[in-house]
Protein backbone atom coordinates (compact mmCIF):
# COMPACT_ATOMS: atom_id res chain seq x y z
CA UNK A 1 0.00 0.00 0.00
CA UNK A 2 1.26 3.47 -0.84
CA UNK A 3 2.33 5.58 2.10
CA UNK A 4 0.76 8.96 2.83
CA UNK A 5 2.27 12.03 4.48
CA UNK A 6 0.15 14.63 6.25
CA UNK A 7 0.95 17.60 8.47
CA UNK A 8 0.68 16.81 12.16
CA UNK A 9 -1.78 19.58 12.93
CA UNK A 10 -3.57 22.58 11.47
CA UNK A 11 -5.74 25.39 12.80
CA UNK A 12 -8.68 26.93 10.98
CA UNK A 13 -11.01 29.78 11.84
CA UNK A 14 -14.67 28.92 12.12
CA UNK A 15 -16.54 29.68 8.91
CA UNK A 16 -13.41 29.57 6.79
CA UNK A 17 -12.39 26.85 4.39
CA UNK A 18 -10.11 24.19 5.82
CA UNK A 19 -7.63 22.80 3.30
CA UNK A 20 -5.92 19.62 4.42
CA UNK A 21 -3.04 18.41 2.24
CA UNK A 22 -1.82 14.87 1.71
CA UNK A 23 1.18 13.58 -0.18
CA UNK A 24 1.05 10.12 -1.73
CA UNK A 25 3.91 10.20 -4.20
CA UNK A 26 4.16 6.40 -4.51
CA UNK A 27 0.49 5.92 -5.42
CA UNK A 28 -0.11 3.45 -8.23
CA UNK A 29 -2.71 3.48 -10.98
CA UNK A 30 -5.38 1.39 -9.30
CA UNK A 31 -5.16 2.99 -5.88
CA UNK A 32 -7.89 5.25 -4.58
CA UNK A 33 -7.47 8.15 -2.16
CA UNK A 34 -9.82 7.94 0.82
CA UNK A 35 -10.39 10.44 3.59
CA UNK A 36 -11.78 9.56 7.01
CA UNK A 37 -12.02 11.62 10.15
CA UNK A 38 -12.18 10.71 13.80
CA UNK A 39 -13.85 12.96 16.29
CA UNK A 40 -12.66 12.54 19.85
CA UNK A 41 -13.83 9.29 21.47
CA UNK A 42 -15.68 8.13 18.36
CA UNK A 43 -14.93 5.64 15.59
CA UNK A 44 -13.64 6.97 12.27
CA UNK A 45 -16.15 8.35 9.79
CA UNK A 46 -15.90 8.17 6.01
CA UNK A 47 -15.72 11.54 4.26
CA UNK A 48 -14.95 11.10 0.60
CA UNK A 49 -12.83 9.17 -1.89
CA UNK A 50 -11.53 9.57 -5.44
CA UNK A 51 -9.31 8.05 -8.10
CA UNK A 52 -8.38 10.75 -10.64
CA UNK A 53 -11.14 13.30 -10.84
CA UNK A 54 -12.03 15.86 -8.23
CA UNK A 55 -14.96 14.82 -6.11
CA UNK A 56 -17.53 16.71 -4.06
CA UNK A 57 -20.20 15.57 -1.65
CA UNK A 58 -22.24 17.12 1.11
CA UNK A 59 -19.31 17.00 3.52
CA UNK A 60 -16.28 18.03 1.52
CA UNK A 61 -14.42 18.35 -1.76
CA UNK A 62 -11.41 16.31 -2.79
CA UNK A 63 -8.89 17.80 -5.19
CA UNK A 64 -6.40 15.34 -6.69
CA UNK A 65 -3.42 16.65 -8.65
CA UNK A 66 -3.04 15.56 -12.25
CA UNK A 67 -0.05 13.35 -11.42
CA UNK A 68 -2.03 11.93 -8.45
CA UNK A 69 0.93 12.37 -6.14
CA UNK A 70 -0.95 14.62 -3.77
CA UNK A 71 -4.46 15.65 -2.84
CA UNK A 72 -6.28 18.22 -0.74
CA UNK A 73 -9.41 17.75 1.30
CA UNK A 74 -11.47 20.93 1.49
CA UNK A 75 -14.10 21.60 4.15
CA UNK A 76 -15.71 24.69 2.63
CA UNK A 77 -17.08 26.29 5.80
CA UNK A 78 -15.46 24.73 8.84
CA UNK A 79 -17.43 24.58 12.08
CA UNK A 80 -16.32 23.77 15.61
CA UNK A 81 -17.76 20.28 15.14
CA UNK A 82 -15.24 19.66 12.38
CA UNK A 83 -12.44 19.56 14.96
CA UNK A 84 -11.08 16.03 14.52
CA UNK A 85 -8.18 13.92 13.28
CA UNK A 86 -8.31 13.63 9.48
CA UNK A 87 -6.79 10.56 7.85
CA UNK A 88 -5.71 10.35 4.22
CA UNK A 89 -5.51 6.73 3.08
CA UNK A 90 -4.49 5.13 -0.19
CA UNK A 91 -6.31 1.90 -0.95
CA UNK A 92 -5.99 -0.48 -3.90
CA UNK A 93 -9.09 -1.14 -5.97
CA UNK A 94 -10.99 -3.87 -4.14
CA UNK A 95 -8.52 -3.72 -1.26
CA UNK A 96 -9.96 -4.62 2.06
CA UNK A 97 -7.95 -3.07 4.84
CA UNK A 98 -7.35 0.59 5.52
CA UNK A 99 -3.86 1.57 6.62
CA UNK A 100 -4.27 4.57 8.92
CA UNK A 101 -1.32 6.85 9.52
CA UNK A 102 -1.16 9.46 12.25
CA UNK A 103 -3.43 11.87 10.37
CA UNK A 104 -3.79 15.62 10.75
CA UNK A 105 -5.30 17.12 13.88
CA UNK A 106 -7.58 19.92 12.66
CA UNK A 107 -8.56 22.46 15.29
CA UNK A 108 -11.39 24.78 14.28
CA UNK A 109 -11.39 27.90 16.43
CA UNK A 110 -14.04 30.54 16.98
CA UNK B 1 -31.02 2.49 10.47
CA UNK B 2 -28.88 0.70 13.02
CA UNK B 3 -25.17 1.18 12.76
CA UNK B 4 -22.34 -1.06 13.87
CA UNK B 5 -22.62 -1.89 17.54
CA UNK B 6 -19.96 -3.19 19.89
CA UNK B 7 -20.05 -4.56 23.38
CA UNK B 8 -18.99 -4.02 26.02
CA UNK B 9 -18.22 -0.33 25.67
CA UNK B 10 -15.64 -0.58 28.42
CA UNK B 11 -13.80 -3.56 29.83
CA UNK B 12 -11.35 -3.59 32.70
CA UNK B 13 -9.52 -6.84 33.30
CA UNK B 14 -6.55 -8.18 35.17
CA UNK B 15 -3.36 -9.21 33.44
CA UNK B 16 -3.51 -12.85 32.41
CA UNK B 17 -7.29 -13.06 32.03
CA UNK B 18 -9.06 -13.76 28.74
CA UNK B 19 -11.48 -11.24 27.24
CA UNK B 20 -14.06 -11.48 24.49
CA UNK B 21 -15.23 -8.47 22.51
CA UNK B 22 -18.32 -8.49 20.35
CA UNK B 23 -19.24 -6.71 17.13
CA UNK B 24 -22.64 -6.58 15.43
CA UNK B 25 -22.20 -5.33 11.84
CA UNK B 26 -24.72 -3.52 9.72
CA UNK B 27 -27.17 -5.96 8.20
CA UNK B 28 -26.21 -6.87 4.65
CA UNK B 29 -22.57 -5.91 5.00
CA UNK B 30 -20.45 -8.83 3.90
CA UNK B 31 -17.13 -7.45 5.11
CA UNK B 32 -16.14 -7.01 8.75
CA UNK B 33 -12.91 -5.58 10.14
CA UNK B 34 -11.24 -5.32 13.52
CA UNK B 35 -8.78 -2.54 14.33
CA UNK B 36 -6.88 -1.56 17.46
CA UNK B 37 -6.14 2.01 18.50
CA UNK B 38 -3.69 2.69 21.27
CA UNK B 39 -3.91 6.00 23.09
CA UNK B 40 -2.88 8.89 20.86
CA UNK B 41 -2.11 6.69 17.89
CA UNK B 42 -3.69 5.76 14.59
CA UNK B 43 -5.62 2.58 13.90
CA UNK B 44 -3.86 -0.75 13.44
CA UNK B 45 -5.55 -3.33 11.23
CA UNK B 46 -6.05 -6.67 12.99
CA UNK B 47 -8.27 -8.97 10.92
CA UNK B 48 -10.76 -8.92 8.05
CA UNK B 49 -13.67 -11.21 7.20
CA UNK B 50 -15.35 -11.30 3.81
CA UNK B 51 -18.30 -13.63 3.39
CA UNK B 52 -17.24 -17.27 3.54
CA UNK B 53 -13.67 -16.59 2.41
CA UNK B 54 -10.74 -17.34 4.67
CA UNK B 55 -10.15 -14.33 6.93
CA UNK B 56 -7.15 -12.06 6.46
CA UNK B 57 -5.38 -12.42 9.80
CA UNK B 58 -2.24 -10.60 8.78
CA UNK B 59 -2.61 -7.89 11.40
CA UNK B 60 -3.06 -10.04 14.48
CA UNK B 61 -0.11 -9.17 16.75
CA UNK B 62 0.28 -12.57 18.41
CA UNK B 63 -1.32 -15.98 18.78
CA UNK B 64 -3.10 -14.71 21.87
CA UNK B 65 -5.45 -12.88 19.52
CA UNK B 66 -8.16 -14.67 17.57
CA UNK B 67 -11.46 -13.76 15.99
CA UNK B 68 -14.47 -15.59 14.67
CA UNK B 69 -17.40 -14.69 12.51
CA UNK B 70 -20.30 -16.90 11.56
CA UNK B 71 -21.53 -16.13 8.06
CA UNK B 72 -22.29 -12.44 7.71
CA UNK B 73 -23.32 -11.86 11.29
CA UNK B 74 -21.75 -11.20 14.66
CA UNK B 75 -18.02 -11.37 15.20
CA UNK B 76 -16.08 -11.92 18.41
CA UNK B 77 -12.48 -10.93 19.04
CA UNK B 78 -10.81 -12.94 21.80
CA UNK B 79 -7.63 -11.97 23.58
CA UNK B 80 -6.14 -14.69 25.75
CA UNK B 81 -3.81 -14.12 28.69
CA UNK B 82 -4.14 -10.35 28.38
CA UNK B 83 -1.09 -8.15 28.83
CA UNK B 84 -0.90 -4.48 29.76
CA UNK B 85 0.18 -3.60 26.21
CA UNK B 86 -3.19 -4.91 25.00
CA UNK B 87 -4.84 -1.87 26.58
CA UNK B 88 -6.43 0.04 23.72
CA UNK B 89 -9.71 0.83 22.01
CA UNK B 90 -10.78 -2.04 19.77
CA UNK B 91 -12.82 -0.85 16.81
CA UNK B 92 -15.00 -2.90 14.52
CA UNK B 93 -16.16 -1.81 11.07
CA UNK B 94 -18.33 -3.32 8.37
CA UNK B 95 -18.86 -2.55 4.71
CA UNK B 96 -20.22 -3.69 1.40
CA UNK B 97 -17.50 -4.40 -1.11
CA UNK B 98 -17.19 -3.27 -4.69
CA UNK B 99 -14.07 -2.77 -6.75
CA UNK B 100 -14.18 0.99 -6.56
CA UNK B 101 -15.96 1.67 -3.34
CA UNK B 102 -15.43 0.48 0.18
CA UNK B 103 -16.90 2.78 2.81
CA UNK B 104 -16.27 1.27 6.18
CA UNK B 105 -18.76 2.06 8.91
CA UNK B 106 -17.19 2.00 12.34
CA UNK B 107 -18.69 1.11 15.67
CA UNK B 108 -18.03 3.14 18.84
CA UNK B 109 -15.32 0.77 19.99
CA UNK B 110 -14.57 -1.19 23.15
CA UNK B 111 -12.10 0.42 25.51
CA UNK B 112 -9.99 -2.34 27.07
CA UNK B 113 -7.90 -1.65 30.12
CA UNK B 114 -5.58 -4.36 31.39
CA UNK B 115 -4.40 -3.76 34.95
pLDDT, tens digit, 9 for 90 and up, residues A4-63? 999 999 999 999 999 999 999 999 888 899 999 999 888 999 999 999 999 999 999 999
Q: In chain B, which residues have their Cβ closer than 8 Å to the Cβ of A49?
A: 101, 103
pLDDT, tens digit, 9 for 90 and up, residues B6-15? 999 999 999 9
Which of A46, A87, A101 is the closest to B103 by Cβ?
A46
Q: In chain A, which residues have their Cβ closer than 8 Å to the Cβ of B60?
A: none
Neighbours of A3 (CB within 10 A): 12
Q: Kindly determine whether residue B33 and residue A96, on different chains, have CB atoms separated by under 8 Å.
A: yes
Higher pLDDT, B87 or B51: B87
- What is the per-residue DSSP string for A57-89? -SS-EEEE-TTSSEEEEEETT--GGG-EEEEEE
Q: Kindly determine whether residue A95 and residue B45, on different chains, have CB atoms separated by under 8 Å.
A: no
Predicted confidence (pLDDT) at residue B100 exceeds the cutoff of 70: no
User: Which among A10, A44, A24 has a CA at the least distance from the CA of B33?
Assistant: A44
Higher pLDDT, B101 or A36: A36
pLDDT, tens digit, 9 for 90 and up, residues A50-104? 999 999 999 999 999 999 999 999 999 999 999 999 999 998 776 777 888 889 9
Q: In chain B, which residues have their Cβ closer than 8 Å to the Cβ of A103?
A: 42
Amino acid sequence: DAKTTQPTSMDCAEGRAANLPCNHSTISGNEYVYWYRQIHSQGPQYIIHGLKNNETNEMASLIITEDRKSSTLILPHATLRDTAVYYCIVRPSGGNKLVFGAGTILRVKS
Amino acid sequence: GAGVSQSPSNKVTEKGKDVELRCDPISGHTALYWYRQRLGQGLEFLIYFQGNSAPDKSGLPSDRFSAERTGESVSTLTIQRTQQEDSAVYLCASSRITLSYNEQFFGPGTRLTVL
